[in-house]
A = this chain, B = another copy of it.
Amino acid sequence: MSRISNIIEIFIKELLDESNNLAVEIQRNELADYFNCAPSQINYVLMTRFTVDKGYLIESRRGGGGYIKIVKVNIDKNQYLRMLMEDIGDVIGNMKAEAIIHRLLEKELISEREKRLMLAAISDRSINTPINLKDHIRANILKSMVATIF
């Protein structure tokens, strides 16, 4: 008896394979209904199996006509991207984050303007919270941004 989470994971990955643009839109309740599980189980699957560092971007909308969109970034083909994700980890300080962004520019993976955007986003001034949260949020933001440039 394989875990339902695994089944849902596989199901979503199949959907992604079928869609050539590597993005798929689901209805949370519909999917939960289909698999006869709690709707929040879908969130659990997304949170544990479709994270940014695994190369997935999630975007969603509540309310009438709401949806969950799962986008696959092709991380497997980008050894460097995967390394970056690992390097960033769950927590990252400002210095290290800036160093990573500079390296991206050097490697010509981003433009000068994009560098400035990214630096602005992860700056201490932007993330104006207690220090323990700060580095965590910074890691999230940086990983999300890095995922979009590939």
Q: A46-65 toward B: CB 8 Å interface, digit per residue (1/0)? A: 00000010000111000011
Contact A148-B129, Cβ < 8 Å, known A3-B65, A65-B2: no
Write the nearest CB–CB distance from A125 to chain B, whole angstroms.
6
Instruction: Kindly report how many copies of this chain are found in the complex they form together.
Output: 2
A99 to chain B, nearest CB (A): 13
Q: Does A140 contact B (CB under 8 A)?
A: yes
Of all chain B residues, which has the CB nearest A128? B140
Closest residue of B by beta carbon distance from A64: B3
Binds B, one of A13-21, A81-89, A116-124: A116-124
Residue A45 lies at the interface, judged by CB distance under 8 Å to chain B: no
Contact status A120-B133, CB under 8 Å: no
Chain B residues with Cβ below 8 Å from A123 are 59, 144
CB-defined contacts of A59 to chain B, threshold 8 Å: 123
Contact of A145 with B by CB under 8 A = yes
Q: A42 to nearest B CB, angstroms?
A: 15
A46 to chain B, nearest CB (A): 10
Query: At the interface, yes or no: A136 with Cβ under 8 Å from chain B?
Result: yes
Known: A52-B125, A117-B121, A120-B145. 16 other contacts (CB 8 A): A1-B27, A5-B65, A6-B65, A57-B120, A59-B123, A113-B114, A117-B149, A119-B148, A120-B141, A120-B148, A121-B121, A121-B144, A125-B140, A127-B141, A128-B140, A129-B137
